[in-house]
Homo-oligomer: A and B are copies of this chain.
């Protein structure tokens, strides 16, 4: 059994933003030397999430718009009295901080339109994503 745990760090630029981290994760999978197993992608924040979808420029904007529509800022949330970002916490609670993939023959098992994104919900901030590969 082999286990590799590394982190990716990045700076986001906007309050709501979608950042493609597929290449970073695939590089870690390659470097792990793990042939078969599983890859867990986990961001350690409560105002961000990890999502998997197609990297098409229009769709990336649609995701940002949809999240802003569904999780409205300043809509009378109690948490906004402490920190003006309840909307970001709510979106992260629903969507979740983690996605995962099988690893086979040293590669992520993902569809051609399954890119991996950090979903920034309260940027700009410095963010960390843990990438763990377990297998053999």
Which parts of A78-116 form the interface with B (CB within 8 Å)? 78-83, 86, 89-90, 92-102, 104, 109-111, 113-114
Main secondary structure of the interface of A (DSSP, over half): mixed
Tally of chain A residues near chain B (CB < 8 A) = 57
**Is A118 among interface residues, defined by CB-CB distance under 8 A?**
no
The reply to whether B59 and A96 form a contact with Cβ atoms under 8 Å apart is no
**Is A1 among interface residues, defined by CB-CB distance under 8 A?**
yes
The reply to whether A56 and B44 form a contact with Cβ atoms under 8 Å apart is no
CB-based nearest B residue for A136: B1
**Is A61 among interface residues, defined by CB-CB distance under 8 A?**
yes
Known interface pairs A100-B40, A102-B40, A136-B3; A52-B93 also in contact (CB < 8 Å): yes
The reply to whether B97 and A98 form a contact with Cβ atoms under 8 Å apart is no
Nearest 5 pairs of A and B residues by beta carbon? A58-B78, A44-B111, A59-B79, A46-B113, A102-B132
